[in-house]
């Protein structure tokens, strides 16, 4: 009897576009794909941990009713330090979905990727407390404060490995299905100065303050420059790393209509995640031996 190959899922970074990961996982499960391990970067680490914990369905119900007002209640501004948001409120809220335990307690193997701020090295978080692993991986530089964890200052894993295919393989996956959220730039009718998202509202307030103090009034806002720059960088890093260590199958949801701060567009992102799997259905089934 042929031994079943282990399937790993590599969930990439992408801020609000990460809600598409929920749809991808739902659709894969519906196809009968057994996911043996999950590696996540940034928002991918959060969704991956929720799936590994078994609370993704409950989290999906919450994000589907998420709006800017509810999001604003989870934002704790940080006037000093290395980021605009401390993240304490957000992480305390995530505990309601069972993420306050250890990685070893999860139902399936899980790892998150972060970046050592001092050395630039990639850090794999695969044991110990789950919350610091997630918090480190989502610490977008300039937005969230870095996290001090195990004698290191850690920031977003997207700086070094936006789609952690290599981490998935190191976890023992024979086959890796990767999800790349940053392949498409924002569509032409959405400008970088679009202020529809919660974090862009925060950026707008910051820009207004700078205008009063410095008289500055030209160009895109702080958050727009930050996120667009990082997204471009992550797309280039993803392409370079995938060239040397490609996934067995890469899923690319069409998310050009969703900006990185559009956390209130969960329904659209989740739907596209499911549609992405549907488009690749035959390739997926053939890959995992279910055809």
Decide if 51 contacts 25 (C-beta within 8 A).
yes
Helical residues (DSSP H) of the chain, grouped into ranges: 19-31, 43-53, 56-63, 68-72, 88-94, 130-137, 165-170, 198-214, 222-244, 266-279, 281-288
Decide if 14 contacts 182 (C-beta within 8 A).
yes
Distance CA 245, CA 210 (A): 44
Distance CA 33, CA 4 (A): 12
Decide if 273 contacts 200 (C-beta within 8 A).
no
Decide if 156 contacts 115 (C-beta within 8 A).
yes
Q: Residue 122 phi/psi, 5° resolution?
A: -75, 135
Quick one: how far is CA 244 from the chain centroid? 22
What is the sign of the dihedral through the CA atoms of 68, 24, 8 and 182?
Answer: negative
Decide if 156 contacts 140 (C-beta within 8 A).
yes
Residues designated catalytic: 42, 156
Distance CA 204, CA 254 (A): 27
């Amino acid at each position: 009897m042929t031994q079943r190959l282990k399937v790993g899922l590599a969930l990439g970074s992408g801020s609000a576009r990460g809600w598409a990961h929920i749809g991808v996982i739902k659709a894969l499960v519906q196809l009968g794909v057994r996911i043996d391990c999950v590696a996540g970067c940034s928002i991918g680490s959060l969704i991956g941990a929720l799936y590994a914990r078994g609370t993704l369905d409950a989290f999906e119900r919450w994000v589907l009713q998420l709006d800017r007002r509810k999001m604003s209640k989870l934002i704790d501004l940080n006037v000093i330090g290395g980021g605009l948001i401390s993240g304490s409120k957000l992480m305390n809220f995530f505990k309601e979905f069972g993420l306050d335990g250890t990685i070893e307690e999860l139902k399936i193997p899980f790892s998150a990727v972060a970046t050592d701020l001092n050395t630039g090295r990639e850090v794999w978080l695969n044991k110990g407390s789950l919350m610091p692993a997630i918090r480190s991986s989502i610490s977008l530089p300039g937005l969230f404060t870095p996290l001090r964890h195990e004698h290191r200052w850690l920031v977003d894993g997207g700086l070094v490995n936006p789609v952690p295919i290599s981490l998935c393989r190191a976890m023992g996956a024979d086959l890796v299905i990767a999800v790349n959220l940053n392949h498409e730039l924002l569509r032409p009718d959405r400008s970088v100065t679009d202020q529809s998202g919660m974090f862009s509202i925060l950026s707008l307030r910051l820009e207004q303050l700078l205008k009063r103090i410095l008289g500055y009034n030209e160009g895109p806002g702080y958050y727009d420059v930050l996120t667009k720059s990082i997204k471009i960088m992550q797309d280039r890093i993803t392409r370079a790393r995938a060239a040397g260590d490609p996934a067995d199958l890469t899923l690319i949801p069409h998310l050009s209509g969703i900006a990185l701060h559009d956390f209130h567009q969960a329904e659209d992102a989740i739907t596209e995640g499911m549609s992405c799997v549907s488009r690749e259905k035959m390739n997926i089934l053939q890959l995992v031996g279910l055809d």
